[in-house]
Structures are given as structure tokens and as C-alpha cells.
């Protein structure tokens, strides 16, 4: 990873800079638990700018193909990433003192501005936030077919039976 992967975020936004790059998926350590395998890479673009209220922002675009693990059959599930998001840069004092107004708290995603913002970590955060909680193949594609996983009902029945037995004793 080049030295450019670390940016002075406020300066980057004020001067409207753009950073493009790619990240290898094996390098995204916090993503590994969700992945079936680590082939491929992720392309990203970060654009600095100001929003309509002249607040510093970073516009993020992320694209790539991940191989997630299907939660039904545990096989590889192609997951095309196509993210576009804008994050507001706030100062540490704003964030710490609860000085964000309501709109900033609820509607915008924000991060604390840093003179040494690690872009790969920011991109990884965005990817993690975007992933489905329990990815599954569609019907007819999944190796396990459309049959519902039998585990939960069986456990529930077993528990119901054992509590019945307990009640009898
Ligand atoms: Zn599957």
C-alpha cells in the first residue's frame, strides 16, 4: 500500500482531492469471517469536497466482487459490491461533546476528521457495514436447494418435549 493511502482528511476535503486505488481482499483482515475465499480485489475512489452546508465530506465509491459464505450451504456466494456513500467529517470535539445536530446524528454517516486518516480502514468499514447479515444463495441456485434448514425446528421440538417430560416428573 502506498503512502498515499493515508490522507489529511480535512485538507483532502477542502482542496477537493481524489484518491483512487485498489485493495487486495486478503489484506482486509476484519472481512475474513464473512468470506468463503479471498480471491479478487476491491476498487475504490475517495473524493473530497464540501456539502451544501459547506461542511467537509468524503464521497466514497467502492466496487468489486466478494465471495461470501452462503449461510445455508456454506459454499461460495458471489456478492458484487457497488457502494456509493458520503461521510461527513467532524472534529473530535464536536463528536465528543455531542455537538452534532440532530440531522448529523441521524441522517449522515460521519467520522472524526483525522490528519492521518487511513483510507483502507475506512473502505473496509464501509464494506463491512454494507454486508448482509446472513447471505444466502437464491432459490434454485443454492446447493441445499429450497428446503428450509431443519436444525431450528428440531431443536425447538426437542426442547418442547424435554420441558414436557420435566413437567410430568
Ligand atoms: Zn447456498
Longest dimension (CA), the chain: 76
Q: Band of the pLDDT at 92, cuts 50, 70, 90?
A: confident
- pTM for this one? 0.77
Q: Is 1 helix (H, G, I), strand (E, B) or coil?
A: coil
What spacing in Å lies between the alpha carbon of 132 and ligand 1's midpoint? 14
Q: What's the pLDDT score for residue 156?
A: 54
Output the CA 136–ligand 1 centroid distance in Å: 5
From the list 148, 133, 132, 140, the residue with the least C-alpha distance to 72 is 148
Taking the centre of ligand 1 as the mean of its atom positions, its distance from the CA of residue 128, in whole angstroms, is: 20
pLDDT tens digit string along 47-63? 999 999 999 999 999 99
Lookup result for grid cell 492521518: 116
CA 129 / ligand 1 centre spacing (Å): 22
Amino acid at each position: 500500500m502506498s503512502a498515499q493511502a493515508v490522507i489529511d482528511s480535512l485538507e483532502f476535503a477542502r482542496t477537493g482531492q481524489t484518491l483512487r486505488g485498489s485493495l487486495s481482499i486478503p489484506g482486509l483482515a476484519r472481512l475474513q469471517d464473512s468470506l468463503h475465499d479471498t480471491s479478487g480485489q476491491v476498487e475504490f475512489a475517495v473524493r473530497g469536497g464540501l456539502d451544501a452546508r459547506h461542511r467537509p465530506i468524503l464521497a466514497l465509491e467502492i466496487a468489486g466482487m466478494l465471495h461470501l459464505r452462503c449461510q445455508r450451504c456454506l459454499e461460495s456466494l458471489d456478492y458484487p459490491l457497488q457502494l456509493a456513500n458520503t461521510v461527513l467529517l467532524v472534529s473530535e470535539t464536536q463528536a465528543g461533546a455531542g455537538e452534532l445536530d440532530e440531522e448529523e446524528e441521524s441522517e449522515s454517516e460521519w467520522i472524526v476528521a483525522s490528519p492521518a486518516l487511513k483510507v483502507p480502514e475506512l473502505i473496509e468499514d464501509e464494506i463491512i457495514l454494507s454486508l448482509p447479515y446472513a447471505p444466502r444463495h437464491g432459490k434454485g441456485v443454492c446447493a441445499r436447494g429450497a428446503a428450509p434448514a431443519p436444525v431450528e425446528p428440531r431443536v425447538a421440538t426437542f426442547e418442547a418435549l424435554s420441558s414436557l417430560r420435566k413437567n410430568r416428573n
